[in-house]
Amino acid sequence: MISVEYVLFGLCAVAIWSLLYRENLAYRIAEYFYVGFTAANLLVQAWESALKIAWTPVTKGNHLWILPLILSIPFVLFFHRKTRSLYMIPIAVVVSVGTGLAMRGAIHADIVGQVGASMKSLIQPGPWDNSFNTAVLTIGSFATLSYFLFTKEVKGALSKVPRVGRLFIMAVVGAAYANTGTGRLANYSGILLNLLKTDAVYIAAGALVVIAVDILRRRAKKKP
Amino acid sequence: MARFQLRSVALTITFVLGFLMIVEYFISFKSINDLAANIRDAATVIIGLASIVGVGNITRNHLRNISRRGDNWIPSIIMLVSVWIPLVIGLLGTQNHPIYRYVFVNLFNPVGNAFFAVLGFYILSGAWRAFRVKSLDGTVMVLCAALIFLKNAPVAGYLWSGFNDIGAWIMNVFQAAGYRGIIIGVAIGSITTGLRILLGRETGYLAERRGGQE
Amino acid sequence: MSSGTAISRIDVRYLFLALLIVSAIPIMSPMGLPMVVSPLTKKSFNFIEGLPAGSVVILDAQHSTGYGPELGTQYAAVFKHLLARPLKVVLVAFGAEGPQLYAMTLEGSTISGPPIDPNRYGKKYGTDYVWLGYIPGTVTAFAAFASNSWLTKTDAAGTALEQLPIMQNCKTVKDWALVVSVSGGQFEQMIAQWYSAYKTPIIFGAPGVSAPRLYSYIDAGQLTGMLVSIGGAAEYELLLKGPALAVSLMDVLNLAQILVVVAMIAGNAIHFIGRSKEKK
């Protein structure tokens, strides 16, 4: 008995991966479905969360909690020309709270924490590589930072510092590329495992046949 | 006139709440800490419901596309169906409704998975076509990428432990040093931008038609 | 013909086909290629092993279907470990797809592996573990949940938190012994809101694309541990002595990554041979 769930899995995976052969309607439909459902899921989850966080206390007598729900009404009114401006109020709340929290966090975590970690003594106890690694971390951090500071053109001997920073940035790019590749190939491995080891293999085989027929058809058209 | 007053109210809210969040971090005064905590709790509700705008925008744009028979108008129908049917089912029957769960597990999950997996193929084609050892910078980039790929392939580390050691050094020291500089630079930039927002110098978030920057 | 033209004439779809063929081999005939557990994964595992009995651990499902088994297997592995230890697990989702992914982890799925039954570990819902559901807002939600862990007022099923014994010991971030967040992003914000403010230990389950930038935080001591991509999940499964989906995918990943390195070397070799021929 063929599993409907795995056949659906195969159809979805093949629809998206058909992009690798060429752009087609199946891919576009799957893409639009993904975007649409993402938006729907976000709102469904947010609504359930809003009911728990705000409506539950209202039902228990804490009526002040109706305020966030009232403040969210302008999101619906956003789509009418005359009431659109009311949107500014809830968005100001959202942006201000988020910005304030992000700023206070960035100061401590990203500046104090990271700069502090860079300012260790270059002579570290233990094996020689402790000191070497600390030196590389310290020099690399400040050289990279100097690459991004555009307050004044750097000339002469100091111009080598951003140049060194650029090498560290190239290492960042290379490592990011490799780790991104690992991650995406991990997803790919999971899809392929299910395409080959479950009932989805019939869909995969069918897709290969369709591609082969399309290639032959295009070649036949090209011949004079 | 009314819009100007609304704008002033919005900028005042931004200033007051933003600085309250920052000041509250540094002081220990129960009433202020409790007020800030309640505002944060309420803000999570408002942030979540902001997704109404996303759904509305999608609906408006794709309805327009369908009515004008624009490009990809057939997928636009799929878009509207995949927004509104799950939305109605989810809102009326919660996310635990069997149909909602079935669509998530058997359609949405494989599509999302396959979507992101496509990049794996392009990583391979990028490695073949784009990663060239043409300069010192390019050499560093290619060497780091190759060595990290070999570190992430456990069999390579098993054949020669040096791949693990070199890869670990690149991740823990070499690229970490580069990223630290980037993190500090980005943090300085985000604080600057945050200050501009809180002081009303940057108003793009208000979605005004005439532009947001002063 | 120049080297650049030679490379560009080769249809890239042949490379895609080569990747599919190379990857299909270990799927049809598993090789069981060896693996070595990395120090970072071991550190994360040992930290959880060392937590005193009764410690409250927050497990956050912030990942999405797009990350597939890369993060799904990490979540499943850490969840199993937390259930196997005498800990109090508070499950929450700061990502919108978290609730469905949590349910898929319990039932078993293509991205998390076999089903997980907390009853098999002798765990009772409401006493040993609780599922609070989704909290929107990222940065705001992190800060709000830290100052008030009763933010949701009820669990995901609607039971008031007052009726759940586990939540009596989890009122604010000061009651948390550890946060484990399996996420695709927002790492810096979590470190800022939880570690910088309250010194709460954090272990991340991170995808490969995000992992490089987190090593700076590990070096600075702001991050306790990290699982990196599916390799981290596979190593964790080995440490748990229960190889599952992640381990079964490592053979494919091994060969696919080596193919990428071969492509890199071959592309450069053809480029240099072509260039030296042009110079002659």
pLDDT digits (tens, 9 = 90+) for A176-216: 999 999 999 999 999 999 999 999 999 999 999 999 999 89
Confidence of residue A126 (pLDDT cuts 50, 70, 90): confident
How distant, in Å, are the alpha carbons of A9, A17, B57 from that of A28? Answer: 17, 11, 19
Domain assignment present for residue C207? The answer is yes
Residue B213 has what pLDDT? 45
Domain spans, chain B: 131-205
Residue whose token pair is 């598993």: C30
DSSP structure class, residue B206: G
Q: pLDDT tens digits for B141-195?
A: 999 999 999 999 988 888 898 999 999 999 999 999 999 999 999 999 999 999 9
Test A25 with B74 for CB contact under 8 angstroms: yes
**Tokens found for residue C165:** 């014994």
Residue B105 has what pLDDT? 96
Instruction: Give the structural domain span for C19.
Output: 3-30+254-279
pLDDT over 80 at C160, yes or no: yes
Separation of alpha carbons C133 and C150, rounded Å: 12
Min Cα separation C280/chain A (Å): 32
**Size (chain C), residues:** 280
CATH number of the CATH domain containing C159: 3.40.50
Separation of alpha carbons C234 and C76, rounded Å: 11
Domain assignment present for residue C249? The answer is no
Residue C278 has what pLDDT? 77
Q: Identify which of C197, C208, C263 has the shortest CB distance to residue B127.
A: C263
Separation of alpha carbons B121 and C68, rounded Å: 16
Could you tell me if C24 and C137 lie in one domain? no
**Range C266-279 average pLDDT:** 85
* Buried b / exposed e along A173-197 (16+ C-beta atoms within 10 A): bbbbbbbbbbbbbbbbbbbbbbbbe
| Cβ contact C141:C273 at 8 Å | no
Sheet holding C88-93, edge to edge: C129-134, C88-93, C56-62, C176-183, C202-206, C225-228
pLDDT over 80 at C260, yes or no: yes
Could you tell me if C12 and C78 lie in one domain? no
Could you tell me if C269 and C187 lie in one domain? no
| Cβ contact C142:C94 at 8 Å | yes
Domain assignment present for residue C35? The answer is no
Q: pLDDT tens digits for A80-94?
A: 988 998 999 999 999
Min Cα separation A158/chain C (Å): 25
Q: Identify which of A56, A109, A190 has the shortest CB distance to residue C249.
A: A190
Residue B212 has what pLDDT? 44
Could you tell me if C182 and C268 lie in one domain? no
Question: Which of C75, C131, C257, C271 to mutate to probe the B interface, most B CBs <10 Å?
Answer: C257
Q: Identify which of A15, A36, A101 has the shortest CB distance to residue B82.
A: A36
**Range A17-46 average pLDDT:** 94
Confidence of residue C2 (pLDDT cuts 50, 70, 90): low
Contacts of B163 in chain A (CB under 8 A): none
Contacts of B41 in chain C (CB under 8 A): 144, 148, 151
Residue A59 has what pLDDT? 92
Q: How high is the mean pLDDT of chain C?
A: 93
Residue B207, classified by CB atoms within 10 Å of its CB into exposed (0-12), middle (13-18) or buried (19+), is middle
Separation of alpha carbons A93 and A89, rounded Å: 7
How distant, in Å, are the alpha carbons of A41, A205, A215, A216, B129 from that of A209? Answer: 35, 6, 10, 11, 28
Q: Identify which of B53, B75, B181 has the shortest CB distance to residue A141.
A: B181
Other chains touching C, judged by 3 or more CB pairs under 8 Å: A, B
pLDDT over 50 at A62, yes or no: yes
**Size (chain A), residues:** 224
| C176 φ, ψ (degrees, to nearest 5) | -85, 135
Determine contact: A56 vs chain B, CB below 8 A: no
Q: Which segments of chain B have a pLDDT < 50?
A: 211-214
Test B137 with A143 for CB contact under 8 angstroms: no
Could you tell me if C237 and C266 lie in one domain? no
Q: Which amino acid is at A86?
A: L
Determine contact: C33 vs chain B, CB below 8 A: yes
Other chains touching B, judged by 3 or more CB pairs under 8 Å: A, C
- The answer for A 103-142 residues in CB contact with B (under 8 A) is 103-104, 106-107, 109-111, 114-115, 117-118, 133, 136-142
| Cβ contact A171:B140 at 8 Å | yes
Question: Which of B39, B66, B79 to mutate to probe the A interface, most A CBs <10 Å?
Answer: B79
Q: How high is the mean pLDDT of chain A?
A: 91
**Tokens found for residue C115:** 């089903």
- Beta-carbon neighbour count of residue A151 at 10 Å? 5
Number of structural domains, chain C?
2
Determine contact: C113 vs chain B, CB below 8 A: no
Contacts of A42 in chain B (CB under 8 A): 51, 54
pLDDT over 90 at C275, yes or no: no
Determine contact: C27 vs chain A, CB below 8 A: yes
Confidence of residue C33 (pLDDT cuts 50, 70, 90): confident
Q: Identify which of C27, C139, C217 has the shortest CB distance to residue A197.
A: C27
Separation of alpha carbons C233 and C254, rounded Å: 15
Min Cα separation A172/chain C (Å): 8
Domain spans, chain A: 123-224
pLDDT over 90 at C104, yes or no: yes
**Range C148-153 average pLDDT:** 95
Test A32 with B72 for CB contact under 8 angstroms: yes
Domain assignment present for residue C248? The answer is no
Determine contact: A65 vs chain B, CB below 8 A: yes
Confidence of residue C8 (pLDDT cuts 50, 70, 90): low
Could you tell me if C185 and C228 lie in one domain? yes
* Buried b / exposed e along B77-100 (16+ C-beta atoms within 10 A): bbbbebbebbbebbeeeebebeeb
Could you tell me if C199 and C146 lie in one domain? yes
pLDDT over 60 at C4, yes or no: no
Separation of alpha carbons A64 and C31, rounded Å: 62
